[in-house]
Amino acid sequence: MIVHYSKYGRVFDLLPEMIFIVDEEQKIVDHNIAASSRTGFRSRDLLNNSLELILPPEQRRVLFSILKTNFNDQSLETKFLCADRSILDVHVDLRRLYSAERFYAVLIATDITELKKRELDYLRFSNVIQHTVNPIQITDASGKMVYVNPAFEKASGYSKEELIGKNPRILNSGRHSKEFWKSVWEYIMARKVWVGEIENKRQDGTPFHTELVISPIVDGKSNIVGFLGAHRDITEQKILEQQLVRSQKMESIGTLAAGIAHEVGNPLTSISSLVQVIQRTTADDFAKEKLELIKNQINRIARIIRDLVDFSRPSAYVVKPTDVNKLVREALNIVQYGKKVKDISFSLELTETIPTLVVVPDQLSQVFINIFMNAVDALEGKPGSIAIQSHLRNEHVEVIVRDSGKGIAPRDREKIFEPFFTTKAVGQGTGLGLWVSYGIVQSFGGDIQVESEPGRGSTFRIKIPLKGE
């Protein structure tokens, strides 16, 4: 017998680990109480039997091959076969014991069956979360992010490294009030699951809309240890909704505009001719001067009416094959006659292989003039640049107008296509240019897109399909 008794009894019987002592032929020569009680084998079954008794066949080779070497403090994970044929997952530490004439191996085995099961549960869970298309974030109890899945990285534009440790506030779009977030927080702190639609901000500043479910993660003692946020990306849907609202609004305003233009246009023409008559016939200088002012104001109204009419009666024009580059050049010439352009460097980069487009040339000219004029205005008389390009992309032609002007404030971005929206001084802008342009481009089945960095400049992309829709 190689295990020494202390005066208190067999000390190793007190240990929770299963301990087996085997000789050079892998014969069990001793074991502790845990070893027999955990495996369910009686001591007399174990003693003098091969270790094979408690090893499933496929586990034997690895363990035996270690035991045959001159091993030193090794450990491995393997399985034990119990008396009732059930299997235990075990972690085994191997030690050597030398006695006078031979050596023994001591196996100190810890039952890790539960741990393995939990590991597997965790693995399954993390695989699901890792591969789901839903953006998912997990925060600790204070709200700091401790985990985000790849879908979340994709949706937010931030990398995992940039997000971990941060508060989800960095995605705040500013669209929801402080009170809104306070009520969400109170709700989840009360251990309730919150569901709602929110607008977040991507790393590049663009919005991403999600349907969000936040559920508190509660431990065994019902303490909140964190929060799980699962999103469903509804950005696409939101953008489509907004476009629909926008085009419906345009349509109804267009109808209204046609009516107003007609009703206002006629009396205005009579006023205008009366003013000219009086101007010609009167000798009163004061009246002459005031009439001049009236004429200016009438011209301004007439300009607005003209824009409205242009917009509301596109069918009055005929479509024909049109050289887009030629229109761009002509529009630029017109704009360059202006007084405000002397400090501006214009650059023109046109793709000459663009085929003709079937559009109304006058209308498309108007679009280019409007957008070029806006670019000039955006420079506010200061030195700067305007770059115009034309490209052929898949099934459409794209004209890009880039200015280095004052840019567009994010809160104005979705309003600039609305009629009468202008940030320019009274008398400088009608707020109709982009509205009219958008209507025209849309009637050709195209689209106008805007990107802008306030203070740095704006880019307008006018896209027109090669074949109308």
In the complex, least distance from residue 158 CB atom to ligand ADP, rounded to whole angstroms? 28
408 binds, among ligand ADP, Mg ion, none (CB under 5 to 8 A by kind): ligand ADP
Q: Under the criterion CB under 6 A, does residue 369 sit at the interface with ligand ADP?
A: no
**Three-class secondary structure of residue 37 per DSSP:** helix
Alpha-carbon gap, residue 137 to 330, rounded angstroms: 54
Nearer to Mg ion, 433 or 439 (CB): 433
Nearer to Mg ion, 181 or 346 (CB): 346
In the complex, least distance from residue 334 CB atom to ligand ADP, rounded to whole angstroms? 15
In the complex, least distance from residue 371 CB atom to Mg ion, rounded to whole angstroms? 8
- Provide the b/e sequence for 158-190 (b: ≥16 CB within 10 Å): beeeebeeeebeebebeeeeeeeeeebeebbee
Nearer to ligand ADP, 194 or 435 (CB): 435
Residue in 331, 402, 401 with CA at minimum distance from that of residue 363: 331
In the complex, least distance from residue 452 CB atom to ligand ADP, rounded to whole angstroms? 7
407: left (phi > 0), else alpha (psi -120 to 50), else beta? left
Alpha-carbon gap, residue 108 to 93, rounded angstroms: 5
Mask of contacts with ligand ADP, 380-409, x by CB under 6 A? -----------------------x-xxxx-
Q: Under the criterion CB under 5 A, does residue 405 sit at the interface with Mg ion?
A: no
Please say whether the beta carbons of 183 and 198 come within 8 A. Answer: no
Nearer to Mg ion, 122 or 420 (CB): 420
Q: Under the criterion CB under 5 A, does residue 374 sit at the interface with Mg ion?
A: yes
Segment interacting with Mg ion (CB under 5 A) among 150-158, 260-268, 299-307, 428-436: 428-436
Nearer to ligand ADP, 124 or 424 (CB): 424
- Provide the b/e sequence for 225-239 (b: ≥16 CB within 10 Å): ebbbbbbebbbeebe
Helices (H) and strands (E) in the chain, counts: 13, 17
Segment interacting with Mg ion (CB under 5 A) among 194-202, 205-213, 340-348, 374-382: 374-382
- Sole binder of ligand ADP in the list 88, 378, 397, 462 (CB under 6 A): 378
In the complex, least distance from residue 403 CB atom to Mg ion, rounded to whole angstroms? 12
Q: Under the criterion CB under 6 A, does residue 435 sit at the interface with ligand ADP?
A: yes
Q: Which residue is at the shortest CB distance from Mg ion? A: 433
In the complex, least distance from residue 378 CB atom to ligand ADP, rounded to whole angstroms? 3
Nearer to ligand ADP, 292 or 414 (CB): 414
Q: Under the criterion CB under 5 A, does residue 366 sit at the interface with Mg ion?
A: no
Alpha-carbon gap, residue 367 to 399, rounded angstroms: 11
Q: Under the criterion CB under 5 A, does residue 458 sit at the interface with Mg ion?
A: no
In the complex, least distance from residue 172 CB atom to ligand ADP, rounded to whole angstroms? 25
Q: What is the DSSP letter of 454?
A: T
Helix (H) or strand (E) holding 320: strand 320-322
Q: Under the criterion CB under 5 A, does residue 433 sit at the interface with Mg ion?
A: yes
- Sole binder of ligand ADP in the list 200, 390, 404, 458 (CB under 6 A): 458
**Half-sphere exposure of residue 148, counting CA atoms within 13 Å on the CB side?**
24
Amino acid 1 reads M
181 binds, among ligand ADP, Mg ion, none (CB under 5 to 8 A by kind): none
Q: Under the criterion CB under 6 A, does residue 210 sit at the interface with ligand ADP?
A: no
Total interface residues for ligand ADP by CB under 6 A: 22
Amino acid 324 reads V
- Provide the b/e sequence for 314-327 (b: ≥16 CB within 10 Å): beeeeeeebebbeb
- Sole binder of ligand ADP in the list 421, 443, 461, 465 (CB under 6 A): 421
| Sheet bearing 224-233, strands edge to edge | 145-148, 136-140, 224-233, 207-218, 194-201
Q: Note the Cα 92 to chain centre separation in Å.
A: 48
Q: Are strands 320-322 and 145-148 parallel, antiparallel or unpaired?
A: unpaired
DSSP secondary structure of 334-402? HHHTSGGGTTEEEEEEE-TTPPPEEE-HHHHHHHHHHHHHHHHHHTTTSSEEEEEEEEEETTEEEEEEE
Segment interacting with Mg ion (CB under 5 A) among 40-48, 98-106, 373-381, 408-416: 373-381
In the complex, least distance from residue 230 CB atom to ligand ADP, rounded to whole angstroms? 38
Please say whether the beta carbons of 188 and 194 come within 8 A. Answer: yes
Q: Under the criterion CB under 6 A, does residue 157 sit at the interface with ligand ADP?
A: no
Give the N- to C-terminal CA distance of the chain in Å, as an integer.
95
Segment interacting with ligand ADP (CB under 6 A) among 73-81, 188-196, 358-366, 432-440: 432-440
Segment interacting with ligand ADP (CB under 6 A) among 4-12, 57-65, 250-258, 372-380: 372-380
Please say whether the beta carbons of 173 and 199 come within 8 A. Answer: yes
Nearer to ligand ADP, 361 or 457 (CB): 457
Nearer to ligand ADP, 129 or 416 (CB): 416
Q: Note the residues at the interface with ligand ADP (CB under 6 A).
A: 370, 374-375, 378, 403, 405-408, 416, 421-424, 429-435, 458
Q: Note the residues at the interface with Mg ion (CB under 5 A).
A: 374, 433
